[in-house]
Structure 1
Amino acid sequence: MDTTEHSEHSEASSADQHTDHLVYAMPPKKSAYRRWYGAQHPNVQMVLSQLWMPVFMLIMFILCYVAPFQHAAPRDAPIGVVGTVEETRTLQAAADRGEPGAIAFENLPDYATATRQVSDGDLAAAYDVDSHTLITASALQAQAANIIPKIVTPVLPALEQDETPTVDDLAPLPAHDIGMTPMYLMIAWCISGYLAAMFVGLMGGPLGRRVRFFIIACTAVLLSFLSALLVDPILGAITGHFWALWGLGFIWAFAIGAAVNGVSYFVGRFVAVPAMLMCIFLSMPASGGALPIWMMPRFFEWISRGVVGNGITEMLKKLVYGVGPGYTHGWILIACYILAGVLLSLVGKPFRERRLIRRILRGRTTMFQDAQKAAGRHGAVEQKKVLAAHGLEIRESDGAVMRIPAEAHHHGLREKVDEVATHIDEAASEKAQHHGGAVVSADGTLLKDAPVTGLEATQGDFEDLRSQTRRDNDG
């Protein structure tokens, strides 16, 4: 009695121990949609799992490009007035009557202050009352230089000035330069940075932090060199700044790559979403490269000081044309993006590992993971089929592709037929024993008499298979 109780207690304790050490549970039942999705061709699954990308890009191109440029209009364009305070107020009142909110006039003490603020980009333009001169800087913003005279000239009659003002262009664009090169080079550097980091995040998940940063840095060196080579000596779009362009392009591409790499730990294969938002969709309209930022919707004006596009174009315009706010803001942005990338990677790597462990312990997989595994298995089978159809096979020992001898190819066909026949033998034998004890041998013949069970058809099928095999061998 005591022995039985002790045995039962031991078994219960053993069961409890096994339960305590259990770290894996069977995965939860998949939804009907997951089961339907998993039943599709593996390559169809792979294609469907990536269709979110064109949908995302379509929506963002329309929202971030079509919408803001469709509604572009002057909004509080900062224009200085070298004159009295009363003259400045008169111009502002005239502007508000004509188009409220389009111009924000600011009184300036002298002409030198006006030229300095226009050159630095603090003002879109300035008007000197005494000389009837409009001060602009085409290289800083070519579109602004064309737009400003059109919105300022109509309000000058308020000061009894009916003639078109003289234009003093402090930084005219070089010949054959429309001022768009900095913006397009900015886009190239953004793409160089975020694409490298995006691929590292997508396919280099297990890689260590140092390896990730090393790959991003090497890619930044190579692509920035290529961009400087194309822009300066080959195309001549920007001349005389090869080394500066290479260095500036490298540091920006690396900063962008570092930030995107840090984000990739948290969003996985959807890293393209924040990367493209940060570097392409929000950065371009908020950079002030295509149109003055005071012509864009307020949202893009609010975020302009934090996007990479604004910092890159400011530094490029200062380097190439000698105008603009300078390099300070750009260097601050570079430092912030690199610091953010390092901090996110320090936190993100353990976060990714914990999330991976939770998924494994819960037995959960993503649709993309299932599609990848299925596509891999299907690809291996498909490869063997294609090779076999051309009389080739892969040698398992070293992966070499070998040509199958004709006799071996026929031998393999016979083995395949024998394998199928054996499988049918077993099924037929079970059926015969169930209906009367008849047993079918490996060659398809009945070993003893039994009631009619329908095995006569099976016997005929075997004979047909043997005949077909003999014909193939003879051929």
Structure 2
Amino acid sequence: MSDDQDQEQDQDRPAAPGPGELSPEMKRSNVRFALTLPLFFMIMFPLCYITALHLPVPHDLPVAVVGAGAAAFIASAAPALAGKFTLVPVDTPQQATDMIFQQTVKAAYVTAPPGQSAHMLVAGADGRVMTQLVPTVFAPFAAQAGNTVQTVDVAPLAPGDGNGIGLMFFMLIVCIVGFMTANILGNAAYFLPMRTRVAISAGVAVLTPIVLFLFMGAWLQILQGTVGQIVAVIALGAVTSFTVGLATTALVAFLGKWALFPGMLVFVFLNIPSSNSAYPAEIVPPFFGWLSEWHLGAGFVDAVRAVLYLDGAGLGGHLLVIGLWFLAAVLLVGAAAWRKRAAAAGEADAGDEDGEGDEAGPAGAAASGAGPERVLLGRVHDHHGTPLPGAVVTLVDHRGTQTGRTSTTDEGGFRIDDLPTGAYTLIEAAPGHEPAARATVVDHHGGGGHGGRVGDIRLVAHEEEHRHRAAVATDGTVPPSAGSYGGS
């Protein structure tokens, strides 16, 4: 084939991305991501928030009925309240109060003789919706019995929590900070080892509830308690935030930037309606009520409520929910780390065969997926595709320090081991050919880089009149930038 024909074919071939450019596939992926994100918000906000919270309707909400007139009151009110309230006869007001603290009932109606005031026992800790809804529903039945209703709050909120939404926002901020920290670290700082990102998430998780308490407790008086109670709440917040961070770290390792969507769904959109906070589980749609039995956000809210307002009643079960989520998050991170090590081992095995065929080229790169963080693989050939044995490959870091140097095998393959992740300049030179250089990245993150495999590198002979850019064959994710910086 003539040089003119070679030149025409090279002109028809798509140009490799220059330094700092994205590949066409990555550009398309980014556009898909940018368009999917607002669509996701369009759907999730009304689906999870508006449908769950626009019309609170009780369903099987348990209420104790106390006193000598309990049987008559239940017989009178039960048919009208069927499906919405479950009426439970109880002997004494103290027993009913204990049941409210244990959350086996949400309120208690203490009957009284006609002409006297009946008492409605409620827990402000369950939220303002509960304390307003139940007395309003029971007032007409009290009037039929010749009674007025006096509301008694047996577990009042802190004075600064006027709307009863303090626990909800405390939980939401703890979860969002844990999620966003891990998500941003995993995508923008993917070059950091996973253990480093986990350690940063742990530090942020500890700091978050402390800062929140300074605002919500010391300043706004939304959260108040003894020193022991506040320490317990901060510890619960730290564990919950770190759990979210661990789970998100694993999601990012598996899904890359697309981890934003399952993470937001689980830790933000499903958290509010299922949190059993401002809107108790018994007055949101049954699906969210079911979620509140095991969801991390609800477990955290219930645990904090038990510590601050309910004398620790039921705390063990809520701690179990948080503990199970933490264990699941640890297992997920372990699976992500194992996957990374397996990919590294597979890539290293492929590198051992790099000089035995064409697997180091585009096909091998495409099959490799996410690569190791300490190995750089590739193959050097001329513009005809002929391997160049003995070509010198030099790797220089961003400070200009040489970090690796090797020569290609008889089949043109090369391998540089023991590399920290980061950005490098790869310089290739062969006798009788123009040297070439390119910016490249060695990284361990499947969604953010080319995984340690450079692919084919093409050098141009001195005698040729035209200059080619270095050809790039990647694994189909983010290709390294390529360009020709060689001498004349």
TM over 0.5: yes
- Which 5+ residue runs of structure 1 have no aligned equivalent? 1-29, 31-37, 367-395, 400-425, 428-475
Identify, as 1 or 2, the structure richer in strand: 2
- Displacement of 1:264: 3.1
Q: Secondary structure at the match of 1:75?
A: coil
Cα distance in structure 2, aligned partners of 1:397 and 1:174: 56
Deviation for aligned residue 1:142: 2.2
Fraction of identical pairs, as percent:
26
Question: 2:364 matched to which residue of 1?
Answer: 361
Once structures 1 and 2 are overlaid, which stretch shifts more, 236-245 or 145-154? 236-245
1:309 and 1:214 mapped to 2: Cα distance? 22
Sort the Cα spacing of 1:130 and 1:233 in 2 relative to 1 into closer, same or farther, 3 A. closer
Contact 1:283-1:309 within 8 A present in 2 as well:
yes
Give the corresponding residue for 1:342.
330
Aligned counterpart for 1:123 among listed residues 91, 105, 108:
105
What is the CA deviation profile of residues 311-342 of structure 1, one whole-angstrom value per residue up to 9, with x for unaligned ones? 22222223333467443233212321221122
Q: Deviations over 1:59-104 (max 9, x none)?
A: 11110001111242011111011246x94475255343x3541111
CA-CA distance at 1:146 after TM superposition: 0.6
CA 1:397–1:259: 2 relative to 1, 3 Å: closer
Residue number among 258, 261, 270 corresponding to 1:273 in the alignment: 261
Which of 60, 68, 84 is equivalent to 1:102?
A: 84
Deviation at 1:208?
A: 4.4
What 5-or-longer segments of structure 2 have no aligned partner?
1-13, 15-21, 348-361, 370-397, 402-464, 467-488
Q: CA RMSD in A?
A: 3.4
1:136 deviation in Å? 1.3
Amino acid at match of 1:230: F
Among 91, 95, 99, the residue aligned to 2:74: 91
Question: Which residue is 1:112 aligned to?
Answer: 94
Q: Is the 8 A contact 2:292 2:298 kept in 1?
A: yes
> Whole-Å Cα distance in 1 between the matches of residues 106 and 132 of structure 2?
11
Which of 136, 142, 148 aligns to 1:164? It is: 148
Mapped pair 1:236 → 2:254? no
1:336-382: CA deviations, max 9, x gaps?
1221122112222333566797997362799xxxxxxxxxxxxxxxx
On the 8 A contact 1:224/1:246 being kept in 2, the answer is yes
Summarize the alignment of residues 411-450 of structure 1 with structure 2, pairs less than 5 Å apart.
Answer: none
The secondary structure found in structure 2 opposite 1:51 is helix
Distance 1:87 1:186 in 2: 38
Aligned residues of 1:121 and 1:140 also touching (Cα < 8 A) = no
Contact (CA 8 Å) 1:143, 1:291: kept in 2 or not? yes
Distance 1:89 1:354, change over 3 A: farther
CA contact (8 A) 1:95 1:155 kept: no
Choose the corresponding residue for 2:236, options 228, 236, 248: 248
Q: Which residue of 2 aligns with 1:441?
A: none
Of residues 163, 171, 191, the one that matches 2:176 is 191
Paired residues for 1:56-95 under 5 Å: 56-83=40-67, 87-88=70-71, 91=74, 94-95=77-78
Could you list the per-position Cα deviations for residues 212-263 of structure 1 after superposition, in whole angstroms to 9, with x for gaps in the alignment? Answer: 3212111212323322222233333334555444333222211221222233
Q: Secondary structure at the match of 2:89?
A: strand
Structure 1 residues 93, 277: closer, same or farther in 2, change over 3 A? farther
Deviation (angstroms), 1:287: 1.0
* Residue matched to 1:215: 200
Which whole-Å deviations, capped at 9, do the CAs of 1:155-178 have from their partners, x for residues lacking one? 345xx5133222222123344432
Look up the equivalent residue of 2:203 and give its one-letter code: C
Partner of 1:403: none
Q: Whose Rg is larger?
A: 1
Letter of the aligned partner of 1:223 in structure 2? T
- After TM superposition, the score normalised by the length of structure 2 is 0.60
Which residue number corresponds to residue 201 of structure 1? 186
Structure 1 stretch 296-305 or stretch 353-362: which is displaced more? 353-362
Matched, 1:227 2:227: no
Counterpart residue identity of residue 35, structure 2: L
**Whole-Å Cα distance in 1 between the matches of residues 105 and 335 of structure 2?**
42
Q: 1:54 to 1:232 in 2, by over 3 A?
A: same
Q: Separation in 2 of the partners of 1:360 and 1:58?
A: 40
| 1:122-168 deviation per Cα after TM superposition (whole angstroms, max 9, x unaligned) | 211111224632211223332111100111222345xx513322222
C-alpha contact 1:118 1:125 (8 A) present in aligned 2: yes
In 2: Cα distance, 1:335 partner to 1:92 partner: 43
Q: Is the 8 A contact 1:139 1:321 kept in 2?
A: yes
Q: How does 1:42-61 map to 2 (within 5 A)?
A: 46-61=30-45
Residues 443-462 of structure 1 aligned to structure 2 (within 5 Å): none
- State how far apart, in whole Å, the 2-side matches of 1:173 and 1:144 are: 13
1:143 correspondence with 2:133: no
Q: Distance in 1 between matches of 2:306 and 2:368?
A: 51
The letter of the residue matching 1:290 is: A
Question: Would you say the 8 A contact 1:140–1:324 is kept in 2?
Answer: no
Figure out how many residues of one structure are paired with residues of the other and give that number: 332
Provide the rounded CA distance (Å) in 1 between the counterparts of 2:221 and 2:44: 33
Q: Distance in 1 between matches of 2:363 and 2:213?
A: 46
2: distance between equivalents of 1:39 and 1:337? 38
Give the Cα–Cα distance (whole angstroms) in 1 for the partners of residues 145 and 399 of structure 2: 91
1:281 to 1:323, Cα distance in 2 relative to 1, 3 A: farther
Q: Per residue, is there more helix in 1 or in 2?
A: 1
Q: Deviations over 1:279-312 (max 9, x none)?
A: 1111111112121211011101111021122122
Deviation at 1:115, TM superposition (A): 1.0
Q: SS in structure 2 opposite 1:135?
A: strand
- Counterpart amino acid of 1:56? F
The aligned amino acid for 1:82 is: V
Tell me the secondary structure at the aligned position of residue 229 of structure 1.
Answer: helix
**Corresponding residue for residue 295 of structure 2:** 307
Per-residue deviation, 1:198: 1.7
